[in-house]
Amino acid sequence: MFDDRSPIYRQIASRIKADVLSGALKGDDQVMSTTQYATYYRINPATAAKAFQQLVDEGVLYKKRGIGMFVSPDARDTLRAERRESFFAEVVEPMISEARAIGIPLRDVVRRIEEREQR
């Protein structure tokens, strides 16, 4: 499940975020405890705890003392908004810059995107 490209706690956080975005985890769903997560994936509990704390800090999860961790009700909307901003900054803006650099009118880029969407 984990690779060597990034720290395991970041991979855990990314996986949980992906589950929220896909709808596999919904608002107010309970997630595994850090101990359960560590046992299931055979990782250090501190690593799982670090991932969960990051998600709490980001507002993706919230804690209910003595009960566990839950998905924040607005987590999916928040994550989608963040991903949209990243998409425009990391994909669209460089694409526009490249199109301008090589002389492709933006209307041609838009037309190509619309054609792909209709396929």
CATH of the domain at 13: 1.10.10.10
User: Among residues 36, 54, 73, which one ends one of the domains?
Assistant: 73
Read off φ and ψ for residue 43, nearest 5 degrees. -125, 170
Q: Are residues 52 and 97 in the same domain?
A: no
Q: Are residues 64 and 13 in the same domain?
A: yes
Q: Are residues 45 and 97 in the same domain?
A: no
- Give the integer Cα–Cα distance in Å for 14 and 20: 10
Q: Are residues 67 and 11 in the same domain?
A: yes
Q: Are residues 62 and 18 in the same domain?
A: yes
Q: Are residues 85 and 114 in the same domain?
A: yes
* Arithmetic mean of pLDDT over the chain: 94
3-class SS string, 6-75 = CCHHHHHHHHHHHHHHHCCCCCCCEECCHHHHHHHHCCCHHHHHHHHHHHHHCCCEEEECCCEEEECCCH
Q: Looking at the domain assignment, is residue 33 inside a domain?
A: yes
Domain boundaries, position 94: 76-118
Q: Are residues 61 and 102 in the same domain?
A: no
Total domain count, the chain? 2
Q: Per-residue pLDDT tens for 98-107?
A: 999 999 999 9
Given pLDDT bands bounded at 50, 70 and 90, which one contains residue 3? confident
53 within 8 A of 41, measured Cβ to Cβ: no
Q: Per-residue pLDDT tens for 57-73?
A: 999 999 999 999 999 99
Q: So what's the pLDDT on residue 4?
A: 78
12 within 8 A of 53, measured Cβ to Cβ: no
Q: Looking at the domain assignment, is residue 2 inside a domain?
A: no
